[in-house]
Chain A
């Protein structure tokens, strides 16, 4: 009975969100008090409904209710309880429920925390959000109902959660990503509302900015965790594959970064009003498009979701409705732009304009490469192609270079016109000093300098120096100055660290595939790899071959274990990489194939500075979160 209860609650949610989707709108439009409903309380009610529904699904997982088809497909009696919990979002149906829950959580926070703008403004934001949630709930109920039952005879055991998802990073990666994606709903709803009421640019930009920052922070964390998970769980040691699903998250991330930068200018100077509105619409649209690409399965991807073209069409319908609808409002509604202060080429405004231009063109180019196989298939009548990773790297490099150069200078620009570019001299000098220092450290650590990494490393130094350098204009001590702009310091410094990590790991990585029998040794870089022993072990729902490996150098012997697991219900193999993390490098080994008896192949890698990539991403997320929270508190 309990799953039915969840189903009924979800249907109730659908009905209530439908009512919420048009009643407040109607009351604003007809200026009719009798149509008024208490939107704050309704938000709470909606949240309560979706949360209960979600909890019931979690409960079904925890008690192994295999009469629920979704549970039977994604869980198993022997699955540890924390993975049963996480299995709730292990596949499509539960992910959608979590997604709606996330949208609701955002709306809930907005309704209760936002500086209460005009009451009517709030009503429209509420209604737009309800419409989107209604569409998602309808989609869930019609095509992907998580509460569907296998009756009258339920299976005795479930077919298990995909083994590569049985992992700690996976338990948090999807929720963070969904919170990031769905957070873009709030800026979208605010943008539509701002169009309808012809709200002053400075005013609505101030409403929107903290929420854009927060969803960007969640997206950053979600993407970084996904990258980290792929790195150690898939056993290839790669951290970014330009997989369509990764791109589907990267594109909204780029647009959300563009959006909150544009909103800074909009809030402070009243410029880029229309542009910020368009960007809000498209950031939200790409987050829906991401869902479509992932869930319809029309692109080859490492992410294995059960696929259904019908779902693709439905999501495309939702996407079309909201994008075309909001663009229609944009083109029909005569909202005159506010009085704008002029700016010069050297101004901060122009800096933001360039930043947005670069980010948006980059996002479009990546999106184009991601969906190009579909376009090609359509125009050539079924010929299939794929666009390789080099495409994205070729595209990314010049844009990243330009963006990084701009970022280093960005904090010295002034509104209207920048009086002097004297800072450039010091910036260049200090960047070169830091650059030389980094090269020296790299040479000491790895006995080698790669010309190919110079541009990226210099860029990283440029960004870091540009972030940390003291501006002489202010009468503040250095620390007070940094404290005052802590958020941007964190975020920009994080970007510098990330770029440094990328630059070093791309050029300095070592990789080798070897064949070893127990007792064998192999010299790799400055390390000697010793295959000490091979053991058989067993886990709760798998058995595994376990290789005991030593990495030895002059100073130290480090022991690590790599495993080849066979999961019992599905028979699927997974590799657990053995990783030794040092401040400047990761030593990485993963088991390959069993060639004969105890002889195995191994893939061994040295990954310098790889942790810096995720550290950088973490700082970016902290920075945007600090800024977002500060702005919410201020109001």
Chain B
């Protein structure tokens, strides 16, 4: 074979193998690590089993934060102004977590209808809200 063509063949084979492997990796990794976002209203409507890791969010309801004194357990309620969802979490809350501020949690829905969070995200300042929550609130206003 002509050396230049041979070298094109090498390149082509390498690209093909690389892309195939990458596609397979991307698809399998994505299917395991894609977390759907639910508002409290969505959760009422949808069938979510407790095995599925999901994200939920809304505004933290006023006076709903109850901190346990002897442990790091905390419960609070998020609302989309239509429905509410009780969140349970064990751990230190982020600095930006506050009443009447947007929050996104990651975790599992429990049989009793509460939500067990493994991660609480409140990474925003007063001008910023997680887009999911901002969208929720805009929809409610309309």
Contact = CB atoms under 8 A, between A and B. Distances in A.
- A associates with B: yes
Interface of A: 162, 235, 297-302, 304-307, 340, 342-345, 349-350, 353-354, 357-358, 361-362, 364-365, 368-369, 372, 376, 383-391, 394-395, 398, 513, 515, 564, 570, 572-575, 592-593, 595-596, 599, 601, 603
Of A362, A376, A384, chain B has the most CB atoms within 10 Å of the CB of A384
A299 B130 CA distance: 8
Nearest to A271: B7
Interface string B105-137: 010000000000000010111111011100100
A572 B125 CA distance: 8
Given A394-B33, A398-B25, A386 B92 contact: no
B3 to A, nearest CB: 3
Contact of B72 (A391, A394, A513): A513
B96 A299 contact: no
B35 A388 contact: yes
B67 interface: yes
B30 A391 contact: yes
Nearest to A376: B34
Given A515-B70, A573-B96, A387 B30 contact: yes
A381 to B, nearest CB: 13
A274 to B, nearest CB: 12
B36 to A, nearest CB: 5
Contacts of A603: 92
Given A368-B26, A398-B25, A603-B92, A307 B128 contact: yes
A304 B72 contact: no
B125 to A, nearest CB: 5
A385 B91 contact: no
Contacts of A372: 30, 34
Given A302-B123, A384-B132, A593-B93, A394 B36 contact: no
B26 A395 contact: yes
A365 B25 contact: yes
A513 B94 CA distance: 13
Contact of A357 (B3, B18, B71): B18
28 contacts: A300-B104, A300-B131, A304-B125, A342-B7, A344-B7, A353-B10, A361-B18, A361-B19, A362-B22, A364-B22, A365-B22, A365-B25, A368-B26, A372-B30, A386-B55, A388-B35, A391-B33, A395-B22, A395-B25, A398-B25, A515-B72, A564-B95, A570-B126, A572-B125, A593-B67, A593-B92, A593-B93, A595-B69
B128 A394 contact: no
B131 A299 contact: yes
Interface of B: 3-4, 6-7, 10-11, 14-15, 18-19, 21-22, 25-26, 28-30, 32-37, 55, 67, 69-72, 91-93, 95-96, 104, 106, 121, 123-128, 130-132, 135
Given A297-B131, A304-B124, A361-B19, A384 B37 contact: yes
A340 B104 CA distance: 55
Of A304, A306, A350, chain B has the most CB atoms within 10 Å of the CB of A304
Contacts of A302: 123
**A-B CB proximity, top 7 nearest:** A342-B3, A592-B92, A384-B37, A391-B33, A394-B29, A573-B95, A304-B128
Given A391-B34, A513-B91, 15 more contacts: A300-B131, A302-B123, A304-B127, A306-B128, A342-B7, A361-B18, A362-B22, A385-B35, A387-B30, A388-B35, A391-B30, A572-B125, A573-B96, A592-B92, A599-B69
B96 to A, nearest CB: 7
A295 to B, nearest CB: 13
Contacts of A398: 21, 25
Given A385-B34, A386-B37, A235 B95 contact: yes
B30 A386 contact: no
Contact of B4 (A299, A342, A599): A342
